[in-house]
A and B are shown apart, each in its own frame.
Chain A
């Protein structure tokens, strides 16, 4: 069903032979899906971010993403750096990093925020595109299948929140809101899906959600852990 043509970390080929595979695809009439991990560095015409060499010249991520994005049948931004800059764009954003949409303003970019993105969010999106040709998105282009509901709405510790029983330290079994939990603003299915073989998730490990799948992460989600907010006022 799928053919993974180019993946820097998995592919056996290296050097220009690797880039050749990318170019062969661009120059063919074949349909393809572009999935991008990582932010696009914009400083110096993108020369801060080069993914390889082609015909002796550096190929920038900026150039490659534009070139492939123009021809791709579907475009998926995978992870916080690709959806909105993420950590690569954290203050003071030394590389001028932006998300994929910024450099492809007229294209539909499906966004899978998360640091990291859950493998199911990516594979589920890819499978939906391959099998049904589409996936239902919210206003910010996130698949509703995974991103429709806040963590807070489905949190197993919601009862503690409702009763005002708050943890003062990491490791406690009550509501982590006053330690800085971003569950109320973060839309993912972490509470029900869980991670890594579906065994656990951050709140299950007795730590607050840090909003890694919310736009604006990390700067708008920090500080991640605040011991101060548990002070009696």
Chain B
């Protein structure tokens, strides 16, 4: 049996290590080692509840808007604040801009270099030899690698029109967003969106399908358990209904054939630390029950990533999970399906933003003067670019006394538990490594999940393997 370790896994947000065991060139075991020393949760205790929105955005410069959404929702829940429809539209538009920026950037800057031979200049030079595209198509996508940089920037520009800046926008807040939309801003955002949508339709989608056509084996690689979960996003509008996805879970039947979609129920959510470097009052708990403390004495543990579970099962989250749950894409659940779903979802989000922008009324002021309560609890659950994100907070004496965050990448890059591997670990099992010296298959499969291990640091302790920790 041979062992392969890849560290750093580049072209992701943050740092990660993957270790796999290989027999006869086939992966038989895998450990994804990611962070999760949730330092951010510790840092939030004692701070003003209203600081949570700008504070948690700093968990990561990639998905900052996502954390602004979840923290605002958690505060609204705790303060019993009803958000107006216009406030919801405005906030969701800003959130959607981040989806567009993230998806375009992940596809071109992070995924494309795995499949497309880019100009041999730093930092794009690579040594592997599994490039299969005909010259003409290769050139088209390679050119779009550079064109896409401008387009993903336009998505941040659109976010900034009402959000002030991106990343770490100032717009999203309790009640919706801070500023009122004015006609000039609405038309500016529409104009930017149109340019982005044209690029998605005319370049990004054809490019994604071209890669899929020349790497068809990746439709058979990277399958995980098949359980899918979403907290819902762009949904439950009073007049518009659900434009994307409601909180749903798809669970594969015990015999492995088919499965069933049910509404998501927060009561079934737990986190497990059997294989993570933590100790707590118990090893399995609901999000508001306890927080854990770092502890590396558990010999079974190999990662700072905890294991979120739903009904004790691991679930996949993200664009493919969402499109499968709504029935809009059901070709398969492979690595290539994940990559295609991301491109298809970019179009979907741009179309949803068109509807939301058309539904905006100008000059609607949604802000109030808020007061922190003596005691309160709240949760904010929402699907974001990479999948299901949850924030849970408690307030005592007007300051934060408890904060729990479960990120999408914690779902996809969780450790194993007693019965199951983590979702991404399972996805690499059975993978045939063509050349042990250039295991390109592993990076391609891992990147199909769009891992966000940002703010990540690696931790090393004598007697333990190197791991990746993400400081939240």
**A-side interface residues toward B, CB under 8 Å?**
3-15, 17-19, 21, 38, 41, 44, 47-53, 58, 61, 86-88, 90-92, 94-95, 115-116, 168-172, 195-197, 199-207, 210, 212, 218, 222-227, 230
Residue of A nearest to B116 (CB): A12
Beta-carbon contact of B109 and A10 below 8 Å: yes
12 sampled A-B residue pairs with Cβ under 8 A: A9-B110, A10-B123, A14-B8, A38-B455, A94-B471, A172-B367, A196-B165, A196-B166, A205-B162, A205-B163, A205-B171, A210-B54
Known contacts A47-B459, A200-B165, A225-B51; is-contact A94 B42 (Cβ 8 Å) = yes
Known contacts A6-B123, A44-B460; is-contact A196 B153 (Cβ 8 Å) = yes
Beta-carbon contact of B459 and A115 below 8 Å: no
B12 at the interface (CB under 8 A from A): yes
- For the complex, give the distance between the alpha carbons of A119 and B443 in Å: 29
**B-side interface residues toward A, CB under 8 Å?**
5-13, 15, 17, 37, 39, 42-43, 46-48, 50-51, 54-55, 58, 61, 109-110, 113, 118, 121-127, 153-154, 156-157, 159-171, 173, 178-180, 188, 365-371, 443, 455, 457-461, 466, 469, 471
Beta-carbon contact of A227 and B50 below 8 Å: yes
Beta-carbon contact of A197 and B50 below 8 Å: no
B153 CB contact (under 8 Å) in A50, A197, A226: A197
Question: With A21-B122, A197-B156 given, can you name 14 additional A-B contacts, CB distance below 8 Å?
Answer: A5-B123, A9-B13, A11-B11, A11-B124, A44-B459, A87-B55, A87-B58, A91-B46, A95-B39, A205-B171, A206-B178, A222-B51, A223-B48, A225-B51
Main SS class of interface, B: loop
A196 CB contact (under 8 Å) in B42, B46, B156, B455: B156
Among B47, B163, B460, the one with the most A-chain Cβ atoms within 10 Å of its Cβ is B460
Known contacts A51-B15, A61-B457, A197-B153; is-contact A170 B367 (Cβ 8 Å) = yes
- For the complex, give the distance between the alpha carbons of A59 and B235 in Å: 45
- Residues from chain B with a CB closer than 8 A to the CB of A4 are 122-123
- Residues from chain B with a CB closer than 8 A to the CB of A212 are 168
Beta-carbon contact of A51 and B168 below 8 Å: no
Known contacts A5-B123, A7-B123, A196-B159; is-contact A12 B178 (Cβ 8 Å) = no
Beta-carbon contact of A207 and B50 below 8 Å: no
Main SS class of interface, A: loop
- Residues from chain A with a CB closer than 8 A to the CB of B110 are 9
A15 CB contact (under 8 Å) in B8, B48, B471: B8
A199 CB contact (under 8 Å) in B11, B127, B160, B367: B160
Residue of B nearest to A11 (CB): B123
- For the complex, give the distance between the alpha carbons of A185 and B160 in Å: 23
Beta-carbon contact of B160 and A195 below 8 Å: yes
- Residues from chain A with a CB closer than 8 A to the CB of B42 are 92, 94
Beta-carbon contact of B47 and A223 below 8 Å: yes
- Residues from chain A with a CB closer than 8 A to the CB of B9 are 14-15
B126 CB contact (under 8 Å) in A13, A48, A50, A91: A13
B10 CB contact (under 8 Å) in A14, A86, A94, A203: A14
Beta-carbon contact of A207 and B39 below 8 Å: no
- Residues from chain B with a CB closer than 8 A to the CB of A218 are 55, 58
Beta-carbon contact of B460 and A12 below 8 Å: no
A207 CB contact (under 8 Å) in B109, B167, B170: B170
- For the complex, give the distance between the alpha carbons of A61 and B455 in Å: 13
Beta-carbon contact of A197 and B157 below 8 Å: yes
- For the complex, give the distance between the alpha carbons of A227 and B79 in Å: 15
Minimum distance in angstroms from A109 CB to a CB of chain B: 20
Beta-carbon contact of B121 and A41 below 8 Å: no
Beta-carbon contact of B37 and A116 below 8 Å: no
- For the complex, give the distance between the alpha carbons of A161 and B396 in Å: 34
Minimum distance in angstroms from A141 CB to a CB of chain B: 23
- For the complex, give the distance between the alpha carbons of A88 and B39 in Å: 9
Beta-carbon contact of B50 and A116 below 8 Å: no
Minimum distance in angstroms from A64 CB to a CB of chain B: 11
Beta-carbon contact of B39 and A204 below 8 Å: no
- Residues from chain B with a CB closer than 8 A to the CB of A223 are 47-48, 50-51
Beta-carbon contact of A116 and B167 below 8 Å: yes
Beta-carbon contact of A201 and B8 below 8 Å: no
- Residues from chain A with a CB closer than 8 A to the CB of B161 are 199-200
Minimum distance in angstroms from A52 CB to a CB of chain B: 4
5 interchain residue pairs of minimum CB distance: A205-B164, A50-B458, A196-B160, A11-B123, A12-B126
- Residues from chain B with a CB closer than 8 A to the CB of A13 are 10, 123, 125-127
Beta-carbon contact of A15 and B458 below 8 Å: no
